[in-house]
Amino acid sequence: MIPSTFVLATHNRHKIDEFQHMLSSRETGISLVSYDGPEPVEDGTTFAENALIKARAAAQHTGLPALADDSGLCVDVLNGAPGIFSARWAGHHSDDEKNLTLLLEQLSDVPPRQRGAHYVCVIALVFPGSSKNHHREMVVEGRWDGFLESSRARATAQGSARPR
């Protein structure tokens, strides 16, 4: 039997609202609660590792099945950067706008045909077990291929600096 309550391993209110909206648009019978525990150190080297770190921490802290995500933009000419560092590309306290500004500056001399990139989003689901080593985990990865625009106006005209 599938549990009816899951914890979403984030302190980001916008992300909680997005997940609630996705679930409410379908008749899943699943409800989400926000995570109020400590934020784990995301020291993984991949999106999947970081999503699992967050989901494991939330499942262990709450005893509930936990969902977590990690996502970012990987630019071909930058050898996959910013990648897992997308949210803090312009520094630890940066935001989407500062990250986009820095990225566009770094690519200012790159021709349009060489601006290949892909957006990656990984979702991890961890069902807690009787001990921290006895739980079930699932990981799903989505990828959206494309090209980066050359200016802020064109990059944000599509709706956002990152897909939603």
Residue 159: which residues within 8 A CB-CB, separation 6 or more?
A: none
Catalytic residue among 17, 69, 70, 95: 70
Q: How far is CA 38 from CA 41, 50, 58, in A?
A: 9, 15, 9
Place of tokens 């200016």: 151
Tokens of 77: 């000419």
Helix (H, G, I), strand (E, B) or coil at 147: strand
Would you say 33 and 92 are in contact if contact means Cβ atoms under 8 Å apart? no
Task: List the beta bridge partners of residue 118.
Answer: 74, 145
The rounded Cα 143 to chain-centroid distance in angstroms is: 12
36 as an active site residue: the answer is no
CA gap 101, 82 in Å, rounded:
13
- Other CB atoms within 10 Å distance of the CB of residue 59: 28
Q: Annotated active-site positions, please?
A: 70
